[in-house]
Amino acid sequence: MAVAGGLCQAGETPTAEENFGYPDGALNRQDGGNGFRGSWNGNGEVFAGALVLGGGSTRAARELAQPLSLASPVYLSMSLRVEGKPQKPFSAPLSLKSATGDALAALAVNDRGFQVSVSPGAKPPVRASKNLGEFFAGRTVRCVLRLESAGKDLLASLWIDPTCPESGPLSGFAVGEIPADSEVCQIEARLWGGEGITVHMDDIRLGASWEAVTAP
């Protein structure tokens, strides 16, 4: 995978990766990729080697074979493209979830731009979100999200088309206290709204380092 500004060097193997190398059609029950337990479920579609979310409310989810603890840095990367012109507000998050299905964090594109949200399951719940820049309809961008603990806070940092090696993020923010045993156990892609558009997600990777999710 070429990244703007250079080519990242090969590093450690991602904990999980999915390039959607399936025939065009329903994603439900497809079980390729690496580092997952079981198959995809939901009503997402595959087209031209990417997960396509469109036509209103759409969902696709899958469990990780090996949970990722938020006690150490967790990296998520994916290629993202929006086709069409939104006629109404929409949001298309890729969420990192706990074993019980609680959303810990999400990277999303919506009608206002890119959004990072953190909801670490603290008691009482603490949620925060921040919109960052605009998306470019029809252009494929590479997104990298890093989550890391900073004391009792969870720090989220976002890169769009990053350079290599790891450079300063586009933006980052911290929120709330996180339970010491928080683990990412599943991922879920969703689209709410989205009349007039399709959202394409591809080359999804999860890992414990920058190199694991950005190497070609």
DSSP state of 9: P
- Sign, CA torsion 31/40/186/21: positive
Residue-number span of the structural domain to which 184 is assigned = 63-188+204-214
176 domain-assigned: yes
What distance in Å separates the CA atoms of residue 190 and residue 157, rounded to the nearest whole number? 21
pLDDT tens readout for residues 129-149: 666 666 677 889 899 998 887
**Of 179 and 93, more confident:** 93
Q: Is 77 exposed, middle or buried (0-12, 13-18, 19+ CB in 10 A)?
A: buried
pLDDT tens readout for residues 23-32: 999 999 999 9
51 domain-assigned: no
pLDDT for 175 equals 58
State CA 18 to chain mean position distance.
Answer: 12
pLDDT tens readout for residues 20-61: 999 999 999 999 999 999 999 999 999 999 999 997 789 999
pLDDT for 67 equals 94
What is the average pLDDT value for the chain, to the nearest integer? 83
Q: What is the mean pLDDT of residues 84-109?
A: 88
125 domain-assigned: yes
Q: 32 CB contacts (<8 Å, ≥6 apart)?
A: 18, 20, 21, 22
181 domain-assigned: yes
- Say whether pLDDT at 93 is over 80: yes
Q: Is 13 exposed, middle or buried (0-12, 13-18, 19+ CB in 10 A)?
A: middle
Total domain count, the chain:
1
Q: Where residue 148 sits, what CATH number does that domain have?
A: 2.60.120.200
173 domain-assigned: yes
What distance in Å separates the CA atoms of residue 142 and residue 85, rounded to the nearest whole number? 20
Q: What is the mean pLDDT of residues 66-82?
A: 92
DSSP state of 214: H
12 domain-assigned: no
Which of 121-156 are b and which e, b meaning 16 or more Cβ less than 10 Å from the residue's Cβ? bbeeebeebeebeebeeeeebbbbbbbbbeeebbbb
Q: 116 CB contacts (<8 Å, ≥6 apart)?
A: 105, 106, 107, 108, 129, 130, 132, 145, 156, 158, 171, 173
183 domain-assigned: yes
67 domain-assigned: yes
CB atoms within 10 A of CB 215: 20
What distance in Å separates the CA atoms of residue 188 and residue 78, rounded to the nearest whole number? 13
Sheet holding 90-97, edge to edge: 36-42, 58-69, 183-193, 90-97, 103-110, 113-118, 128-132
Q: Are strands 25-26 and 113-118 parallel, antiparallel or unpaired?
A: unpaired
